[in-house]
Amino acid sequence: METNFNNLPPLQRLRAIMARLRAEDGCQWDRSQTHQTLLPYLIEETYEVVEAVESGRLKTLREELGDLLLQIYFHSQIADEAGEFNIEDVASGISDKLIHRHPHIFGEKKDLKPQEVRDQWEKIKVESKEKNSVLAGVPKTMPALLLAYRVGEKAGGVGFDWENPRDIFDKLKEELGEFEKEFDAGDKDGMTDEMGDLIFALVNLARKIGVDPEYALKQTVRRFIERFGYIEENLKKRGRTFSETTLAEMEELWQEAKK
């Protein structure tokens, strides 16, 4: 007898639908998926959630969160079929973790600031041996800017950090000077190393002042695209090509675009 999915509570309904799709007489595409083959969809849906948040479109965000939730249920269903764990185990695990990491709420009450809470998390994870290293929980596959941000954040959570954001200015000057030496020497490997050090210092400055470097860079790229588009559009109107236009003329249009 076919289950009446419409009579189930929303989360139970989603789990039942996922199980039905993965059944022997279910959808061949869904049945063929594995944890590995689903990874591109998981990453794509995550980025679509990010885009919805940045755009401020709440209706779109609701839809994209649903798509991301499907991926979580999909992975849980595959694991359930293998006898490894199910969606209840996933929910139970994260619930236990939330209680354990918020002793200031579920234990002795303390009024902690956001940064103090984050630092407390890092200390709890290390002291409880949940992680065998402060940096062990950072996925190496993360985008480089986000990876640098999280590494700095975790190290800072246990006290390895600059006390004042302004202290990082000196570090930036130092790293820029070291990059300049490698640049003058024409050492490509040296330039690569020092460029990485310089960017890492910038990311840590962003972290200390509460700026998301990924978002900041995206906004800069967006503005560049808009302003460069202004240059292209104006050159088309004048019947000019880039090869027929001087850098000074393009700079003049760039300044117009900024206004």
3-state secondary structure the chain: CCCCHHHCCHHHHHHHHHHHHHCCCCCHHHHHCCHHHHHHHHHHHHHHHHHHHHHCCHHHHHHHHHHHHHHHHHHHHHHHHCCCCCHHHHHHHHHHHHHHHCHHHHCCCCCCCHHHHHHHHHHHHHHCCCCCCCCCCCCCCCCHHHHHHHHHHHHHHCCCCCCCCCHHHHHHHHHHHHHHHHHHHCCHHHHHHHHHHHHHHHHHHHHHCCCCHHHHHHHHHHHHHHHHHHHHHHHHHCCCCHHHCCHHHHHHHHHHHHC
pLDDT tens for the chain, 259 residues long, are 567 888 899 999 999 999 999 999 999 999 999 999 999 999 999 999 989 998 888 999 999 999 999 999 999 999 999 999 999 999 999 999 999 989 999 988 888 888 888 788 777 877 776 667 778 778 888 889 989 999 998 888 888 999 999 999 999 999 999 999 999 999 999 999 999 999 999 999 999 999 999 889 989 999 999 999 999 999 999 999 999 999 999 999 999 999 8
pLDDT (0 to 100) of residue 205: 96
In the chain, domain spans? 5-100, 215-258
pLDDT (0 to 100) of residue 13: 95
| The two three-digit tokens of residue 85, written as one number | 């764990």
CATH class, 5-100 region: mainly alpha
pLDDT (0 to 100) of residue 2: 63
> Using CA atoms, how far apart are residues 104 and 85, in angstroms rounded to an integer?
30
